[in-house]
A and B are shown apart, each in its own frame.
Chain A
Amino acid sequence: MAITEAMWVHGHAMRVEYPDRLSSTWRAGFYVRTVGKPNSTNWFHFAVPTTVIVKNKRQMVDSVMLRFRAGSNHASVTNVHVYDGPTRIATHDGLDISPSGFEFHRFNVAGKPDVLWGIGISIGVKFSGTTDAQNTLEFSSAGCDFNLFETVRLHFKVLTAPDIAIDTMLDSMRQVYEPAGFRVVRASDENLNLPDLNVVDVGQCRRGQTTDEQDTLFANRNNAGANDVVVYFVDATSPPYNGCAAHPTGQPGAVVASGATRWTLGHEVGHVLGLSHVNNNDQLMTGNGTSSITNPPPDLATSEITTMRNSNLTINP
């Protein structure tokens, strides 16, 4: 995936949220040097100049980057939050990064959202040393990469919440789809109170063949455009499958059973986009069950990516 736009800002543009918690700030040509007071936390903010539209195409946020070093492991970056205007679009918490020399660190923005208002990077920091030398952080640069992905739009209709959270399934799916150039947009969520279809008869789950119950269930397409994929989270299928991607013509979608794995969502949508099983447990479309996947996240083969790109359900940027 070629980066379509990259924007950087120099370290000395950084703004400190709580200046009184610092013993000193020194802006120089090379970087900004901050010395935190002992046992303090703080937030440092970088506003990244953002070209939201390039050659008539609205850009998608790929990831943000920092280049910094720490005086000791008592000074560290603990959080990286990414904002587009007022909206937080990525959250990396629980970090503890304190490189002794200048290092480049990249932080993914899952979901690759359209950029609308301008990127802000907010960095949580912690100072736990006793001397100024220990409590020193120096930032030389902050930046953001932009990209253009083919888009799959998903609508989630929940009859029964699955054992593995939908957030986890979606995150897992993105780990497979995004490196292959596809972003997965969660376009809407809706709960469906349809107890009669909570165990849905899917017959032999063959592409192009549907039961009356599938036809009834898949008619629920609130908010979904013709090329959007609707995923129905059900208690179970009859017979038992992890999921089933057979759908009525013109109503692209799949069911996912409550006992599905974290990879089942991506697997079923893969079927909807035209993929078939392969005999390889390194791949998302393994026919040996995604519970058998050996190298998470699993891969998509080049030929599969071509099939997906050719699907009219993946929208060109």
Chain B
Amino acid sequence: MAMTLEQLRILLSNEEPDYIKIAASLDASDTAHIKQLAADQDEMLASKAVYLASLAVDPTASDIVIDAADSDRKRIKISAASANANLSDSKKNRVAEKLIDCDDVSIQKLVVRSLSKPSAAIKTKLRKLSTDSSSQVVRNLCTDKLKTTP
């Protein structure tokens, strides 16, 4: 059921939005509003909209996440990395390619964790990070991911 922009804004302004419940009430006609909120000046709201996009049934909504990975706002990037876990395998790799080289342990942690079928290019990055990352957590995640993914 289509929501007004204001309705969606209020649902996402919740301190702790219930993403699954909100996503279940969305249809393709809501995607434009999610996109608009994902570009909002309020970074907290924008980052929530990016995450919601990853759960929307409309397949084009995932482009909002892919675009967010290019954002120059760190919180939006973090949200894209977090949201990546909900995307399809091919889209996961696209987001991962944009974010895995960023110099931020928390983003790398989320990206590596989100991967299910890493591409050859991503696997090369994982191998490098598994030895070179400054974070023990990221090194371990990369090692585990290489062992457990096809």
Residue numbers of A with Cβ under 8 A of B are: 195-196, 198-199, 204-205, 235-236, 238-244, 257-261, 264, 267-268, 277, 287-292
Contact = CB atoms under 8 A, between A and B. Distances in A.
B109 A199 contact: yes
B4 interface: no
Summarize B's interface: helix, strand, loop or mixed.
Answer: helix
Contacts of A199: 78, 82, 106-107, 109-110
B72 interface: no
A241 B79 CA distance: 10
7 contacts: A204-B19, A236-B78, A238-B110, A240-B79, A264-B15, A289-B10, A291-B13
Interface string B47-88: 110110000000000000000000000110011011100000
A236 B15 contact: no
Nearest to B18: A204
A259 B47 CA distance: 10
Interface string B84-107: 000000000000000000000111
A239 B82 contact: yes
B14 interface: yes
A195 B87 CA distance: 26
B146 interface: no
A277 B136 CA distance: 38
Interface string B8-26: 0010111111111000000
A128 B48 CA distance: 54
A291 B42 contact: yes
A238 B19 CA distance: 12
A195 B135 contact: yes
Nearest to B105: A195
Task: Say which size band chain B's interface belongs to.
Answer: 20 to 34
Given A198-B106, A204-B20, A259-B44, A238 B14 contact: no
Nearest to A243: B15
A289 B37 CA distance: 15
B10 A292 contact: yes
Contacts of B16: 205, 241-244
Contacts of A196: 105-106, 109, 135-138
Given A195-B106, A289-B15, A291-B13, A257 B82 contact: no
Interface string B107-150: 10110000000000000000000000001111000000000000
A240 B48 contact: yes
A227 B22 CA distance: 35
A247 to B, nearest CB: 13
B106 A240 contact: no
Given A240-B82, A259-B44, 4 more contacts: A196-B105, A238-B78, A240-B48, A288-B14
Contacts of A257: 44
Nearest to B113: A201
Contacts of B47: 236, 240, 259
Contacts of B10: 288-289, 292
A287 B18 CA distance: 10
A242 B17 CA distance: 9
Contacts of A243: 15-16
A268 B82 contact: no
